[in-house]
Homo-oligomer: A and B are copies of this chain.
């Protein structure tokens, strides 16, 4: 996602070592007495990604922990909570891949064909359950409550998104509310908890929470843009899935909202036909791609403004670089 080593080699190395420990905690937590369960857990590896959430927990702890930015502010709790947040995220990925019948009919078994819906559901449940179990081992009821609140919000976002599926009247505030819940709430919690566990005061925790929320919104807008205009080989997954699932994203919402009656009709026909190539061209001509990219830019700026509360130093510099990378990424 981002070459942190180009900015600060020692800190990048430190983060890499910490992330390795997070991975060990992650895998140890999921190991089961039952070989059948371990056999299924192997499939989780295909969801391994950028480790954005654990990185933000650790980096928030480093950046808020004061000088020297040498890892002394990080605790075992950071690593456990980093693993918990990644586990919650992976559960949502696994469950997002469960298809409804319409999907099966329309696209054939493109996703999930390896092990079927039921295994995907149970595997996701196993991840959620282990996330809460691991969280409970930290022994701080306030963290359990905070993350329980986040997962409630996250599920509400997913349910609201399903409710608005095929809703061609979806407006921008509703879209932003949905992605704030389903994506940004967890990222906000990563930043806040990382800072809190490093002993930061409430003002810093609150600022990093707001920064994480803004970052999460920017991240999702960029994700949705890549689904529309990315290159499949770079993004690493089938594009146009949002449209297939009846999910309207910011560029499309802008295009439908800004258009006159005739233009709206033309865009709607492209959406209904599922013609991703023609729609992409249409959105570019109407300035809707640029509109969504500018919105993501604004949220990144918002996050960076919040980082001003952090002590100046490499920690803060890396947080800013992370924020930039959220919208400059191609996958």
Q: Are A128 and B126 in contact (CB under 8 A)?
A: no
The CA of A124 and the CA of B125, in the complex, are separated in Å by 9
The CA of A202 and the CA of B162, in the complex, are separated in Å by 46
Q: Are A121 and B95 in contact (CB under 8 A)?
A: yes
- Give the contacting residue for A34; candidates B40, B95, B132, B159; CB below 8 A: B159
A51-59, A148-156, A292-300, A319-327: which lies at the interface: A148-156
A63-71, A135-143, A267-275, A277-285: which lies at the interface: A135-143
A-side interface mostly: helix
**A233 at the binding interface (Cβ < 8 Å):** no
Determine the chain B residues whose CB is within 8 A of the CB of A91 once the complex forms. Answer: 125
Q: How many residues of A contact B (CB 8 A)?
A: 54
Determine the chain B residues whose CB is within 8 A of the CB of A154 once the complex forms. Answer: 129
CB distance from A176 to the nearest CB of B (A): 14
Interface centre among A118, A125, A135, A141, by most B CB within 10 Å?
A118
The CA of A217 and the CA of B151, in the complex, are separated in Å by 31
**A163 at the binding interface (Cβ < 8 Å):** yes
Determine the chain B residues whose CB is within 8 A of the CB of A103 once the complex forms. Answer: 118
